Amino acid sequence: MRHWIHGPLGRLHGQLAHDEETNVVFFRGMSLDTLTRGLLGLRRRPLAYGKGADWGLVMHDMLGWDAGDTDSTDYEKVCPPGGELAVFITEPCGAKAHGPWFSYYRDGHLHTALSFEAPDDRVGEDPDLLLPALVAAGLVGPHARDAAEDFEERIVRAITEALSLPELELP
């Protein structure tokens, strides 16, 4: 079975009733209601959610529901003080076959972000936040291993472990 990061989640797993690209958002330090209202305010339809002991989870359509709304979701607007978001964009541009993207927000600010195509090229207020985990996983740095079939899954695993995110298990 292919790992969930290979998206699109709706078509791969059938439990989401849509055919659009799906963003996976882990959240903490805010209520599900706060995040849901924020996403709806940005015209992003929440599709599935779950709440764990520490982190919660929301999956939502990457694109807005208005025709032609292809802008990126502005997560800084939905991440209040004290809140954290760990966002996986599984298909940032399916038509152009770009790889997934990860962003981590805290207190309404982007702390670190990276493309799965170039994990050594990070951005944000603290771009090296995940660097130790990426180096330990052999994804960046002088001892980085060649990109293998499981490269994207290893990035997800390194991020998940570094931020103590729950495992996303889909049927």
Residue 130 lies in a domain: yes
Mean pLDDT to the nearest integer, 131-150: 82
Report residue 143's pLDDT band, with 50, 70 and 90 as the boundaries. confident
**pLDDT per position as a tens digit, 65-77:** 876 666 789 999 9
Of the given ranges (53-67, 101-115, 152-166), which has the lowest mean pLDDT? Answer: 53-67
Report residue 97's pLDDT band, with 50, 70 and 90 as the boundaries. low
**pLDDT per position as a tens digit, 112-134:** 999 988 898 999 999 999 999 99
Residue 19 lies in a domain: yes
Residue 26 lies in a domain: yes
**pLDDT at 134 (0 to 100):** 94
Q: How many domains does the chain have?
A: 1
Residue 169 lies in a domain: no
Q: With 70 as the cut, is the pLDDT of residue 94 above it?
A: no
Rounded CA separation 142/121 (Å): 14
| Strand stretches in 45-170, DSSP E | 46-51, 56-61, 84-89, 101-106, 109-115, 122-123
> Domain range holding 20?
4-63+76-163
Of the given ranges (6-15, 25-34, 152-161), which has the lowest mean pLDDT? Answer: 6-15
The residue among 130, 171, 154, 164 whose CA lies nearest residue 52 is 164
Residue 107 lies in a domain: yes
Q: With 90 as the cut, is the pLDDT of residue 58 above it?
A: yes
Q: With 90 as the cut, is the pLDDT of residue 110 above it?
A: yes
